[in-house]
């Protein structure tokens, strides 16, 4: 019987690697999809309320490969070669999902849930974040962890494969045999990255978390504020070994709370924002000397404040700016939002250490983190 006989060697290690390569490729695509959609994922309720579970599920679009799709509607398209299309014709229009009157007949966008650990998600979110304007202080220093790549070795764990150097080894080995090309990966070709965990020493820091819990802060506003502070607390405790956090809540009066109370208890009544700024200054004076600590203050509110209290707020913010490395104000525009009384008066504060962010929906939490904790922050308000 004539023909070509294909022999597969049991020693062809690249075949055994095929499943692992596909798995790694899929994981990379999932990671890319998550990174592209961090703004939507960060404020997912399932994450904020994950109750300490190590693995969480995040919704991402399905990862389809490119393929031709038959146009059942035979709609007009551009790009027909010598056809009748002319300049200005629409070549392709993306179907609008879930829009228009009545029931639609277009297919929807598929989503699926990907498993990811909270630590992996945090690593992506905190990649470029840091406490801005850190200065040397007298008190003992805090240490932040960083990874430093030290060496390339021939043995290691699969997740640490250095693909670029591995490919170079394969090409070099094949070229030396007189058969150049990228094929036949063997275990001897593999190269693995190794690194050491190093510590960068910085001065002591304290962060004052201030949240409006008055009656005007509805469920949406409270959820957005708590989402921001959830990630802020995790960021500080992940990246710095000894940063201190003080939790302050207010309506017409302010008080220091436990972390659990801060994230679970609400209140009612009116709003006097100056009360929390006054308490913050008292806490700093009693416990955190600016000579010994880098001090950061972040306040979230819906912008609704007693008109008679606004001038006092401006005065107290200016007092905070004298002792803080940075003061941040976040304003949440809820579904029943009306003109802010606070944002308008805060426009008069002209200090590079004062940063304002506006959050209009859940996707605004991630940009707020990026703006407040940028190493070289953009201080202009939205």
CA distance 272 to 349: 19
Helices (H), 190-349: 219-239, 259-264, 274-287, 310-323, 341-346
pLDDT in tens, 29-81: 767 777 777 777 777 776 665 555 555 566 665 455 445 555 555 555 555 55
**Which pLDDT does position 5 carry in this prediction?**
47
**Which pLDDT does position 117 carry in this prediction?**
73
Please state, as a whole number, how many other Cβ atoms lie within 10 Å of the Cβ of residue 360: 13
Under 8 Å CB-to-CB from 91, ≥6 apart: which residues? Answer: 77, 78, 79
Inter-residue contact 207 to 296 (CB < 8 Å): yes
Q: At what angle do helices 274-287 and 310-323 cross, to 10 degrees?
A: 20
Sequential pLDDT tens for the chain (382 residues)? 445 444 444 454 444 455 556 666 766 776 777 777 777 777 777 666 555 555 556 666 545 544 555 555 555 555 555 556 566 555 544 444 554 555 555 555 455 566 667 777 778 888 878 888 878 776 666 666 655 666 677 777 666 778 888 888 888 888 888 888 888 888 888 888 776 666 665 568 999 999 999 988 988 999 999 999 999 999 998 888 778 999 999 999 999 999 999 998 877 778 899 999 999 999 999 999 999 999 999 999 998 899 899 999 999 999 999 999 999 999 998 776 666 778 889 999 999 999 999 999 999 999 999 999 986 544 443 4
Under 8 Å CB-to-CB from 362, ≥6 apart: which residues? Answer: 40, 43, 224, 227
**Which pLDDT does position 180 carry in this prediction?**
85
> For the chain, how many residues are written?
382
Read off φ and ψ for residue 150, nearest 5 degrees: -110, -35
Domain boundaries, the chain: 12-62+112-125, 143-202, 203-372
**Which pLDDT does position 332 carry in this prediction?**
93
In the chain, the DSSP E strands lie at 55-61, 111-117, 142-153, 192-202, 205-212, 244-250, 254-257, 294-301, 326-332, 354-359
**Which pLDDT does position 73 carry in this prediction?**
56
**Which pLDDT does position 200 carry in this prediction?**
60
Topology given in CATH for the domain delimited by 203-372: Rossmann fold (3.40.50)
């Amino acid at each position: 019987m004539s023909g070509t006989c294909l022999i597969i060697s049991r020693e062809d290690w690249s075949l055994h690697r095929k499943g692992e390569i596909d798995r790694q490729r899929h994981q990379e695509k999932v990671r890319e999809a998550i990174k592209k959609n961090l703004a939507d994922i960060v404020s997912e309720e399932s994450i904020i309320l994950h109750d300490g579970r190590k693995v969480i599920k995040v919704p991402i679009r399905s990862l389809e490969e490119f393929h031709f799709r038959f146009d059942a509607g035979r709609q007009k398209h551009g790009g027909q070669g010598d056809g009748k299309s002319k300049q200005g014709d629409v070549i392709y229009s993306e179907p609008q999902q879930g829009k228009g009157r009545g029931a639609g007949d277009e297919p929807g966008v598929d989503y699926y849930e990907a498993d990811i650990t909270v630590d992996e998600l945090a690593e992506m979110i905190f990649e470029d974040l840091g406490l801005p304007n850190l200065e040397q202080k007298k008190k003992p220093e805090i240490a932040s962890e960083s990874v430093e790549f030290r060496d390339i070795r021939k043995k290691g764990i699969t997740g640490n494969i250095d693909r670029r150097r591995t490919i170079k080894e394969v090409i070099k080995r094949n070229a030396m045999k007189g058969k150049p090309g990228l094929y036949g990966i063997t275990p001897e070709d593999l190269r693995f990255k190794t690194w050491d965990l190093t510590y960068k020493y910085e001065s002591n820091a304290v962060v004052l978390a201030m949240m409006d819990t008055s009656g005007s802060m509805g469920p949406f506003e409270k959820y957005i504020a708590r989402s921001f502070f959830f990630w802020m607390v995790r960021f500080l405790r992940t990246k710095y070994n000894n940063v201190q956090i003080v939790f302050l809540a207010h309506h017409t009066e302010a008080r220091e709370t436990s972390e659990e109370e801060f994230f679970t208890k609400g209140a009612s009544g009116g709003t006097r924002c100056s009360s929390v700024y006054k308490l913050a200054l008292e806490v700093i004076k009693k416990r955190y000397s600016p000579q010994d600590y880098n001090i950061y203050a972040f306040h979230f509110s819906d912008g609704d404040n007693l008109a008679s209290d606004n001038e006092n707020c401006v005065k107290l913010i200016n007092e905070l700016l004298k002792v803080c490395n940075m003061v941040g104000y976040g304003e949440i525009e809820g579904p029943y939002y009306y003109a802010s009384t606070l944002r308008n008066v805060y426009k008069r504060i002209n200090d590079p250490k004062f940063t304002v962010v506006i959050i209009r929906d859940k996707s605004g939490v991630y940009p707020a983190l990026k703006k407040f904790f940028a190493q070289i922050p953009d201080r202009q308000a939205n």
